[in-house]
Amino acid sequence: MQNIPLAERIRPKKLSEVIGQEHLIGEKGTLKTAITNKLIPSMIFWGPPGVGKTTLSNLIAQELGRPFYTLSAINSGVKDVREVIHKASSLGLFGKDIPILFIDEIHRFSKAQQDSLLGAVEKGVITLIGATTENPSFEVISALLSRSQVYVLESLSKEDLQELLERAIKQDEVLSKLNITLKETESLIQISAGDARKLLNILELVVISIDNKEIVITNDLVVEKAQQNIVRYDKNGEQHYDIISAFIKSIRGSDPNAAVYWLARMIEGGEDVKFIARRLLILASEDIGNANPTALVIANNCFQAVNVIGLPESRITLSQVVIYLACSAKSNASYMAINEAQDEVRKSGNLSVPLKLRNAPSKLMKELGYGKDYIYSHNKPSDKQEFLPPEISGKTLYNPSNNSKENAFREGLKNLWKEKYNY
């Protein structure tokens, strides 16, 4: 029993024992209703690690009395998928209930692997439950996504995690025999970052490291016993956010050496390379923008390449693009412009579109003055019209940054609009 991790030993045996996810499996939960009616769709569970995706899938199968197959996207290929589907088809011949196929980390399945599921899902040979920590819109093919219901699982609250700790020391066969007092739990909860599995692993680690007859859990004790055993890069925890922050700030600050170092930290830590590539896409617009418009093209090509190549070779592409972006001229003018524009919209509300800028597809609209006096800009480029609502005429939202490209923009706008926008 002691060889089995604590998280596994106290895994819920029925739905009523699950902590959290009230919006799904509470009395009025959408998923609870579907289970009660014994009509569950294929579904994708999207949520952070340790919130109960695997547990919930098992319990659904148990509740419905259905055969349950499980595959991990990390070590399963198309062949494994087809074998499971073949077994499921055989069961269908003998009038058995539709089996449930659970695929952990479905976002790691390639397009070909996901395609191999389509036919079985469409024909009702299997009910698919996929678990993912990544946005399904990016990681699951549209054909499979359209045939599945996406359920979002939320991180466990402090209260949920506290309840889990108390349940563990009271109900676990091993811990319940020990004299354990939960004097302070803040460090346990903070380090676990909403991950129930991680929380229980740390609790167990602390408990087994103490020989005393009486074990008093305090914040200092948790830090002392657990800190050195916590992986320095946890792609789903606090380190994840700290390192991606350092990575982005290094590129923004034009330091390719620091940028490629933090890139290496993420790769060595097992970070999803597609996540890194997506962040580079955002940065190319937010921090470089029109100072070097080619940066966005290169970042997008990088994202496509990473999706095609995968690890380990995609590290080379990422390194190339990271260094290019770090060395590029920087501008946040586009980012600031949309922020200014949105602030103005929130402040001034829904201002009317000037009549001459309105579309006039009908005779009545024309009679009402829609499109009247509009001058086609290509015919008279020197005739500068008013394109903003009159209430905010002359409002400058875009301020070019000081770089060669945007300095040229500034000069062009100054010549075009004279004093109107104060360029």
From the DSSP assignment, how many helices (H) and strands (E) are in the chain? 20, 7
Based on the domain organization, do 255 and 201 belong to the same domain?
A: no
- Residue 337 forms part of a structural domain: no
Based on the domain organization, do 119 and 169 belong to the same domain?
A: no
- Is the CB of residue 182 less than 8 Å from the CB of residue 25? no
Give the model's pLDDT for residue 281. 94
Based on the domain organization, do 70 and 125 belong to the same domain?
A: yes
Question: Domain with 85 in it: what CATH number?
Answer: 3.40.50.300
- Residue 9 forms part of a structural domain: no
Based on the domain organization, do 212 and 262 belong to the same domain?
A: no
CA–CA separation, 206 and 200 (whole Å): 10
- Residue 100 forms part of a structural domain: yes
CA–CA separation, 146 and 138 (whole Å): 13
Instruction: Pick the closest to residue 387 from 411, 355, 409, 360 (CA basis).
Output: 355
- Residue 411 forms part of a structural domain: yes
CB atoms < 10 A from the CB of 65, how many?
Answer: 10
Based on the domain organization, do 243 and 322 belong to the same domain?
A: yes
CA–CA separation, 47 and 44 (whole Å): 10
Q: Is the dihedral of CA 37, 39, 41, 47 positive or negative?
A: positive
Strand ranges inside 240-341, DSSP E: none
On the CB side of 233, CA atoms within 13 Å amount to: 14
Question: Domain with 208 in it: what CATH number?
Answer: 1.10.8.60
- Residue 51 forms part of a structural domain: yes
- Is the CB of residue 326 less than 8 Å from the CB of residue 254? yes
Instruction: Encode burial over 6-45: b for 16+ CB neighbours within 10 A, e otherwise.
Output: bbebbbeeebeebbbbeebbeeebebbebbeeeebebbbb
Based on the domain organization, do 147 and 111 belong to the same domain?
A: yes
Crossing angle (nearest 10°) for helices 256-268 and 238-252 = 160
Choose one of 103, 130, 152: the last residue of a domain: 152
Based on the domain organization, do 25 and 115 belong to the same domain?
A: yes
Tokens of 155: 């991180």
Based on the domain organization, do 162 and 211 belong to the same domain?
A: yes
Based on the domain organization, do 26 and 134 belong to the same domain?
A: yes
Based on the domain organization, do 30 and 136 belong to the same domain?
A: yes
- Residue 217 forms part of a structural domain: yes
Residue bearing tokens 């659970």? 102
Choose one of 195, 229, 263: the last residue of a domain: 229
| 276 CB-contact burial (10 Å; exposed 0-12 / middle 13-18 / buried 19+) | buried
- Residue 336 forms part of a structural domain: no
Question: Domain with 256 in it: what CATH number?
Answer: 1.20.272.10
Q: Residue 179 CA to chain centroid, in angstroms?
A: 41
185: containing domain? 158-229
CA–CA separation, 245 and 125 (whole Å): 45
Q: Check: pTM over 0.95? Answer yes or no.
A: no
Tens place of pLDDT for every residue, the chain, 423 residues?
457 888 889 899 888 889 889 889 988 888 988 888 888 999 999 988 888 899 999 999 998 988 899 888 777 777 888 888 888 877 754 445 788 999 988 888 878 888 888 888 888 888 999 999 888 887 788 889 999 999 999 888 889 999 999 999 998 888 888 888 899 998 888 878 778 888 898 898 888 888 777 888 888 888 887 765 554 445 555 566 778 888 999 999 989 899 999 999 888 877 888 889 999 999 999 999 999 999 999 999 999 999 888 778 889 999 999 999 999 999 999 999 998 898 888 888 888 888 887 887 777 777 778 888 887 777 777 677 888 888 888 888 888 989 888 888 888 888 888 888 888
Question: 3-class DSSP state for residue 417?
Answer: helix
DSSP 155: P
Domain count across the chain = 4
CA–CA separation, 386 and 177 (whole Å): 79
Based on the domain organization, do 35 and 133 belong to the same domain?
A: yes
Give the model's pLDDT for residue 43. 93
Give the model's pLDDT for residue 307. 85
Question: 3-class DSSP state for residue 74?
Answer: coil
Q: Residue 99 CA to chain centroid, in angstroms?
A: 29
Give the model's pLDDT for residue 415. 85
Tokens of 22: 């009230």
Choose one of 152, 170, 187: the last residue of a domain: 152
- Residue 342 forms part of a structural domain: no
Based on the domain organization, do 294 and 382 belong to the same domain?
A: no
